[in-house]
A and B are shown apart, each in its own frame.
Chain A
């Protein structure tokens, strides 16, 4: 059974239908990318999983239905959603942001802090800094760290490279791969930057106007010229 299964999912913003019959899966420990042009419904798909948009259809995490859950319950069940724009609590300190990541966890957090600092050692020195004053790249890493504190089974990453310099983007994707390998966290990744996504993800779905237009392994997608040119822009 896949970790995450979406079957025939529709989603709408008011009168506008953003997703039509989207079907996709993410296996345990897999990294899957969602690609497509602006407005294709990539972000909406992540929102459908975390429950931050009105949706209908089957959405199951490990067989458990998320269809009626809001984001609070999704978080409790092990879904960590790092939204577009990072979702940083800018007015709070770096440390408080991390503590908030662990909101759904019970018990001592010492181990979690240690693990997180293992990936992002620079956080220790900046713990009292107001999160909003960090650079874009640092905030993205803080967002990842926050998600890690949650010990999620599934990480929803929305446009992590947005507004960041290529070197920073490379570092972030390196960390995502490391997280996936070391912690076994599955990742559903939305990215405009198709090349980087295909280099990181095992499989990808290409969305067009709210529906799945094509899916396959990254190698397949990367090889097919026609696919690359029409959907991925290179």
Chain B
């Protein structure tokens, strides 16, 4: 990172300070603790989607505008499976597999032809076309009335020292973190994960060692779709979210903000950004009276803007040297 000496500690320092503030606040006030946990749960949902965005961005420098819509679609698929009688967790597992296949297929059919001949902006527009297509498809197949998605965990509240934590929130945090960690393990320790990383950073050199770069891209889209499915399922499980075609629109925005905050090329950054956004927005909403629900979105935007003005390549991004 091209930083002035001494500034390398700013980001970790700030994060640590933030965490400390959260812990202290939680110990002082049970409302604070509850809002922190549910903020983390929201952040977990944003994190899954944000990592999906980063996955695709790292490999292709393209922002996939359809990521949220794909996540919503897979959530509808899960709903349908459950409606047909499958249990929640078998449906979840099957949905993940279907999401993978779907993401893979979308890259093959819709993205590859565009990528072959166009440049990044064409692919971005194609992803917007995909967004319109998929949300339309949801409406066509399932209609746009709100569906009821059964909750995976019967509503249960854990009480620790006078603070109430919902089981769903804790499960969301756990599942989101687990999926990101599993992905990390895949990338670090498997042959295919290494090949995907190589294809993302140096596609030409990767071809020379025999990696089929275009298949790696499709794999990436498949994995991203799986992460989206996790995000969608967790979002639908929350009592305040309704299963409708536009369900993930808002989450997509927060996921963008998180990914940008984190530096777009760093999955870890996206996770940190997502958790930060989730917690900050929740706390802002609870404690600052003039921050109404409508202002949450602009608030996230302001947060993103502030970080970018200070560090234009995001918290964990690398400042690139542009070759003339």
A contacts B: CB pair < 8 Å = yes
Chain A residues in the interface with B (C-beta under 8 A)? 50, 52, 70-72, 75-76, 80-81, 83, 87-92, 96, 99-101, 103-104, 146, 150
Q: From A87, which residue of chain B is reached at the shortest CB distance?
A: B205
A-B contact pairs, 25 of them (CB 8 A): A52-B207, A71-B208, A71-B210, A75-B207, A75-B209, A83-B208, A87-B202, A87-B204, A87-B205, A88-B205, A89-B205, A90-B202, A92-B197, A92-B198, A92-B201, A96-B194, A96-B197, A99-B191, A100-B206, A100-B209, A100-B211, A103-B191, A104-B210, A146-B209, A150-B209
CB-CB under 8 A from A92, the residues of chain B are 194, 197-198, 201
Taking A96-B194, A100-B195, A103-B191 as contacts, is the C-beta distance between A91 and B210 under 8 angstroms?
Answer: no
Q: Decide: A76 and B207 in contact? CB cutoff 8 A.
A: no
Q: From A99, which residue of chain B is reached at the shortest CB distance?
A: B194
User: Interface residues of B toward A: which range?
Assistant: 10 to 19
CB-CB under 8 A from A76, the residues of chain B are 210
Tell me the smallest distance from the CB of A90 to a CB of chain B, in Å: 8
Q: Decide: A89 and B204 in contact? CB cutoff 8 A.
A: no
Say yes or no: is B167 at the interface (Cβ < 8 Å to chain A).
no
Taking A100-B195, A103-B191, A103-B195 as contacts, is the C-beta distance between A91 and B208 under 8 angstroms?
Answer: no
Which of A81, A96, A100 counts the most chain B CB atoms within 10 A? A100
Say yes or no: is B212 at the interface (Cβ < 8 Å to chain A).
yes
Tell me the smallest distance from the CB of A94 to a CB of chain B, in Å: 13
CB-CB under 8 A from A81, the residues of chain B are 208
**Within the assembled complex, what's the spacing in Å between the Cα atoms of A72 and B210?**
4
Which of A52, A89, A101, A104 counts the most chain B CB atoms within 10 A? A89
Within 8 A of A (CB), among B134-164: none
CB-CB under 8 A from A72, the residues of chain B are 207, 210-213
Within 8 A of A (CB), among B207-242: 207-213
Tell me the smallest distance from the CB of A188 to a CB of chain B, in Å: 14
Taking A96-B194, A99-B194 as contacts, is the C-beta distance between A104 and B209 under 8 angstroms?
Answer: yes
Tell me the smallest distance from the CB of A100 to a CB of chain B, in Å: 5
Tell me the smallest distance from the CB of A33 to a CB of chain B, in Å: 21
**Top 3 A-B residue pairs of the complex, sorted by shortest distance between their CB atoms:** A75-B210, A87-B205, A104-B210
**Within the assembled complex, what's the spacing in Å between the Cα atoms of A89 and B212?**
16
Q: From A50, which residue of chain B is reached at the shortest CB distance?
A: B208
Tell me the smallest distance from the CB of B213 to a CB of chain A, in Å: 8
Tell me the smallest distance from the CB of A122 to a CB of chain B, in Å: 22
Tell me the smallest distance from the CB of B100 to a CB of chain A, in Å: 22
Q: Decide: B194 and A100 in contact? CB cutoff 8 A.
A: yes
**Within the assembled complex, what's the spacing in Å between the Cα atoms of A100 and B191?**
8
Q: Decide: A89 and B202 in contact? CB cutoff 8 A.
A: yes
CB-CB under 8 A from A99, the residues of chain B are 191, 194
CB-CB under 8 A from B198, the residues of chain A are 89, 92, 96, 100
Known: A75-B207, A103-B191. 4 other contacts (CB 8 A): A72-B210, A72-B211, A80-B208, A99-B194
**Within the assembled complex, what's the spacing in Å between the Cα atoms of A34 and B212?**
29
**Within the assembled complex, what's the spacing in Å between the Cα atoms of A100 and B206?**
8
**Within the assembled complex, what's the spacing in Å between the Cα atoms of A99 and B202?**
15
CB-CB under 8 A from A83, the residues of chain B are 204-205, 208
**Within the assembled complex, what's the spacing in Å between the Cα atoms of A80 and B205?**
11
**Within the assembled complex, what's the spacing in Å between the Cα atoms of A88 and B205?**
7
Tell me the smallest distance from the CB of A88 to a CB of chain B, in Å: 7
**Within the assembled complex, what's the spacing in Å between the Cα atoms of A70 and B212?**
10
Taking A87-B202, A89-B202, A103-B191 as contacts, is the C-beta distance between A52 and B208 under 8 angstroms?
Answer: yes
Tell me the smallest distance from the CB of A141 to a CB of chain B, in Å: 16
Tell me the smallest distance from the CB of A120 to a CB of chain B, in Å: 17
